[in-house]
Amino acid sequence: MKDDVQNNMEQLITAFLLGSDTPEEERTVLDWVAESRGNSRIFHQYKNIWDASHPAFQEKSIDREAAFARVQERLHKKNRISTSQLVLRIAAALAVPLAAFSIWASVTMHSGRILAKNEVRQTVFAPFSSRTQVVLSDGSKVWLNSGSSLEYPAVFRGKERAVALKGEAFFEVESSEKMPFIVKAGAVEVVATGTEFNVNAFAADSISTVSLRKGKVGVFSEGLRLSELNPGERLCYNNSNRFYSVRNADVEDDCIWKDGVLSFNNVPLERVFKRLGQLYNLNITISDPEIGRNMFKGTFDNEPVSEIMKIISMTTPIRYSTDSLYRPKRITVLPLR
């Protein structure tokens, strides 16, 4: 008997979905649905199957990639207040007629573009095993670590101070709210108004880091804001999967290289050798991954690499061979016999 009722109901629900039911039948269905949770679940399942099997649009007409691009663009616009928007707000506050403003804005924006075109850009490179310091036209100071290069305009003009970094650099930026200082380093972009921070973005390295010592910086990637850092925080960005993390970290250790000091505070040997390889342009091979997991703690003050390797091998269970004793190019790290 119960089955008959259910069968009858299922037929009525089908008619309801097909739109072939009478108003009385529809009333019966809706009343039955309202009767119990069990009934309502059955009804929703049928409606679900019906709706999802009779979509309103063609699957092919939906362009997911275009939609994602649009979302990115819309998020980007909202995320960063561009200078022109800022000017617009001030203009509105001062009740400047909008027409006059737009003419003015288009003129200034246009000339800004011309200036940008004729802008003289310079590049400075810090050779391996050495560091370089640059003072930019606004008074900001940049320390470039070994093997890194910085591209910057001879004179900063326009609405932002943009520089491009390959490798690692420490920045001491002169404050200017109106003209944010922007470091483009691979996929990562750091926006600062006045502050001290370190950026490490060697091309061969899959992890880029931004460490903040003082002030405030925003870190962006592909137009989206990843995070705003507070002093003492380090952001690690994984270039291969685009995941990132922000942690409290020993940022002093990240920045201390600029004084010629190389400091490792309980760091796996694997990372120590990676760092040495970058700074001294060395090809360091670890014969057994197991060795790379040993932790190392130590500080070197302007020491040549031959000396550093000697000290590491004295304090950890490794030995090594090099192609040259004083100016090595290749080092092979081996386990102790």
Partner 1 sequence: MANLSESEDLVLLEALKMGSQRAFSLLFEKYYLDLVMFAGVYIHDQDACEDIVQNVFMELWRGHETLGVMSSLRSYLIVCTRNRCFNELEHRKVISEHVRFEMRNKDVFDSHADEYIMFSELKILIDKLLDKLKPAERQAFELSRTGGLTHKKIAVIQNCSVKTVEARICNVLKTIRGSIEKNYEPI
Contact between 64 and partner 1 by CB under 8 A: the answer reads: yes
Contact between 245 and partner 1 by CB under 8 A: the answer reads: yes
210 pairs with which residues across the strands?
A: 199, 235
272 pairs with which residues across the strands?
A: none
CA distance 293 to 24: 76
Contact between 68 and partner 1 by CB under 8 A: the answer reads: yes
Contact between 3 and partner 1 by CB under 8 A: the answer reads: no
**Minimum Å distance from CB 159 to partner 1?**
25
Contact between 242 and partner 1 by CB under 8 A: the answer reads: yes
Pick the piece of the chain touching partner 1 (CB under 8 A) from 63-71, 287-295, 318-326, 329-337: 63-71
**Minimum Å distance from CB 100 to partner 1?**
34
One of 59, 93, 95, 99 touching partner 1 (CB under 8 A): 59
The residues, any chain, with a CB within 8 Å of residue 314's CB and separated by 6 or more, are none
**Residues near partner 1 (CB under 8 A), total:** 49
**Minimum Å distance from CB 104 to partner 1?**
32
How do beta strands 141-144 and 121-125 pair? unpaired
Contact between 32 and partner 1 by CB under 8 A: the answer reads: no
Q: For residues 91 and 188, which CB has a smaller minimum distance to partner 1 in the complex? A: 188
Angle (CA) 317 323 327, round 5°: 95
- Using a 10 angstrom Cβ sphere, with 0-12 exposed, 13-18 middle and 19 or more buried, the burial of residue 159 is middle
Sign of CA dihedral 30, 36, 42, 45: positive
Contact between 31 and partner 1 by CB under 8 A: the answer reads: no
| Touching partner 1, residues 191-230 (CB under 8 A) | 221-222, 224, 226-227
* 3-state class percentages of the chain: helix first, strand second, coil last, to nearest 5: 40, 30, 30
Angle (CA) 243 200 189, round 5°: 60
**Minimum Å distance from CB 187 to partner 1?**
10
Contact between 10 and partner 1 by CB under 8 A: the answer reads: yes
Contact between 2 and partner 1 by CB under 8 A: the answer reads: no
Contact between 44 and partner 1 by CB under 8 A: the answer reads: yes
- Asked if residues 192 and 173 have their Cβ atoms less than 8 Å apart, the reply is yes
CA distance 54 to 275: 59
CA distance 290 to 284: 15
Chain positions contacting partner 1, by CB under 8 A: 10-11, 13-15, 17-20, 30, 34, 37, 40-42, 44-46, 48-57, 59, 61-62, 64, 67-68, 70-71, 74-75, 78, 221-222, 224, 226-227, 241-245
